[in-house]
């Protein structure tokens, strides 16, 4: 068996094009969605990601702002920046790029973002809305992107056993909440695994759909997959490789080549979930503007 590759680049482009059409309609009425990204420090991966978000916004016809603060910026300075963006009527979505420097309390900063502009979906109000199935909730972009990938790839979740490996607030927990909801891309029976799960391979082999979000390079191996399962790899890890010019390569949480011989469908790394994350962030910003204008 050779798995079908779930192409996040192509799907992401489709969603971004849909967002651009909706933005065009809004712009015709004199307004457009605005997204502000706040970057503290010079983390290379974060900087690349923020640039990608800004470029995607501009291509969709959205207003994009990037606020850069030095790594030694105080917590008070960052909170003042968030307050200013909360009050700016041109900004409908705010994201503070994580991780933040250790001297800043990330939870305090995320809770300072106006919940109606919290397009990352990390504020407790949006987390609570997601849990109860409130349609005005902002769904965290990565699990939202996974759900859209499943829907748009024709993968049935209703009645399926979905196993999520990882319980982070950014991916694992909201992923489980999305999969269990009533509606498209939901109605699954969900198991969440983590570092304390006993006999993890036995649990993962029971999955019809496996979502790997554990942050360990190539942790999920072929013997952990039921033949014909769908495997979604959220992980992106840098591993040393002297055979390539950069001296490293990017791999997921799944051992791609051997697992692809067992699964029915699989996401590559890169080119899988990553492009969907940016697409859904734009979708959330569009949603934020539409909800503010109701």
Residue 117 tokens, joined: 């502009």
Nearest to 142 by CA among 173, 163, 104, 181: 173
| Residue among 17, 72, 20, 6 nearest 42 (CA) | 72
CA 206, CA 190: separation in Å to the nearest integer?
11
CB count within 10 Å of CB 195 equals: 9
CA distances from 291 to 119, 285, 288 (A): 12, 10, 5
Q: How, if at all, do strands 189-193 and 161-165 pair?
A: parallel
Q: Is 53 a catalytic residue?
A: yes
Q: Cα 124 to chain center, whole Å?
A: 17
What one-character-per-residue DSSP string does 16-49 give? HHHHHHHHHHHHHTT---EEEEEEES--HHHHHH
The catalytically annotated residue of 97, 148, 283, 287 is 97
Exactly one of 32, 117, 118, 120 is catalytic; name it: 120
3-state helix, strand, coil in the chain (%, to 5): 40, 15, 40
Write the burial class of residue 18 (CB in 10 Å: 0-12 exposed, 13-18 middle, 19+ buried): middle
Residue 3 CA, distance from chain mean position = 23
Find the catalytic residue in 53, 147, 233, 253.
Answer: 53
Give the residue numbers marked as catalytic: 53, 97, 120
């Amino acid at each position: 068996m050779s798995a079908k590759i779930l192409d996040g680049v192509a799907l992401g482009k489709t969603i971004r094009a849909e967002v651009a059409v909706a933005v065009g309609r809004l712009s015709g009425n004199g307004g457009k969605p605005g997204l502000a990204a706040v970057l503290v420090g010079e983390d290379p991966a974060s900087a690349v990601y923020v640039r990608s978000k800004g470029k995607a916004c501009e291509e969709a016809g959205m207003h994009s702002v990037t606020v850069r603060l030095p790594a030694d910026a105080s917590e008070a300075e960052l909170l003042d920046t968030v307050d200013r963006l909360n009050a700016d009527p041109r900004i409908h979505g705010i994201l503070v790029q994580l991780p933040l420097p250790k001297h800043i309390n990330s939870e305090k900063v995320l809770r300072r973002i106006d919940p109606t502009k919290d397009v990352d979906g990390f504020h407790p109000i949006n987390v609570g809305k997601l849990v109860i199935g409130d349609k005005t909730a902002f769904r965290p972009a990565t699990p939202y992107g996974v759900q859209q990938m499943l829907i748009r790839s024709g993968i049935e979740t209703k009645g399926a056993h979905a196993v999520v490996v990882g319980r982070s607030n950014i991916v694992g927990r909201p992923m489980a909440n999305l999969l269990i909801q009533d509606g498209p891309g939901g109605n699954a029976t969900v198991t969440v695994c983590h570092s304390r799960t006993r006999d993890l391979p036995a649990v993962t082999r029971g999955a019809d759909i496996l979502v790997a979000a554990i942050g360990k390079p190539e942790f999920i191996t072929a013997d952990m997959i039921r033949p014909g399962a769908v495997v979604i790899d959220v992980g992106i890890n840098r591993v040393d490789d002297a055979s390539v010019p950069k001296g490293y390569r990017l791999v997921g949480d799944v051992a791609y080549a051997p697992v692809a011989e067992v699964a029915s469908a699989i996401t590559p790394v890169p080119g899988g979930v990553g492009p969907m994350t940016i697409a859904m962030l734009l979708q959330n910003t569009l949603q934020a503007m539409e909800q503010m204008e109701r």
